Amino acid sequence: MHKTVPQALHFVKEFLPLVKGVEDRDVVLIPPFIALHPLGDALKNTSVKLGAQDLFWEEKGAFTGEIAPSMLVDAGCAYAVIGHSERRQYFGETYQIVNKKVQAALQAGLIPIMCVGEDLAERETGKTFEVIKKQITEGLKGFQIDRSEQLVIAYEPIWAIGTGHTATPEQADEVQAFIRELIRRSWGKGIAAGLRIQYGGSVKPENMAEIMAMPDIDGALVGGASLEPVSFSRIVKYDQ
């Protein structure tokens, strides 16, 4: 929950020149709902894509305060974050809600960025893999994934979000390899190999290269370090 519409537009104005010419990776900006439409216009004819922080699973109706998938598409969105730990923690999003939102996103032609992750107590009691398996299987229950491009999974250890504590690259990669194996068992080797699995949790310019060196980490879901154009551009261009 950052940036007014003018602030978001100012960010884009500063950010785009900083990543001009970067063509070998996908960059997505995910602002608050009120900034989606103006940023959608500002990002037209650029390589930077637009995403939403959430969506509702119904197309229309008496759901005051919610945003339909088609509204996001109309605003220019290509992606939607679903099941972020803060949505689960503060707004009571269940496995079933996440499942319905993923399905709604796919039906609308949006690419879901489905978030999974364990809290500190779950990690310290050895339940990380149990928690991740439950979140993956319930979140994607009933789906048929035909192309790896249809979905992004973001592993965000809750204990490392905004705390300054980052999972070691080895810790993150271990979980992400586990996620890839779960996908392989359900949808086959080809889907699992092509699926993007991101890491999110105190990602910053100083640790991005080390994180991305891991074999099962395909990108980053960046929080605080994405709020400033230079910082985020350094993350985007981590190996340049």
Query: Which strands sit side by side in the sheet containing 152-155, from one edge to the other?
Result: 27-29, 48-52, 79-82, 111-116, 152-155, 196-199, 219-220
* β-strands 79-82, 196-199 pairing: unpaired
- 156 is an active site residue: yes
Q: Which of 93, 118, 122, 156 is catalytic?
A: 156
Beta strands in 26-110 (DSSP E): 27-29, 48-52, 79-82
> Long-range pairs for 6-12 at CB < 8 Å and ≥24 separation?
8/32, 8/35, 8/38, 8/39, 9/35, 9/38, 9/39, 9/42, 11/227, 11/229, 12/39, 12/42, 12/43, 12/48
DSSP 78: -
10 has catalytic annotation: no
Rounded to whole angstroms, the Cα distance separating 148 from 127 reads: 28
User: Of residues 10, 59, 84, 122, which has the active-site annotation?
Assistant: 84
Residues known to be catalytic: 84, 156
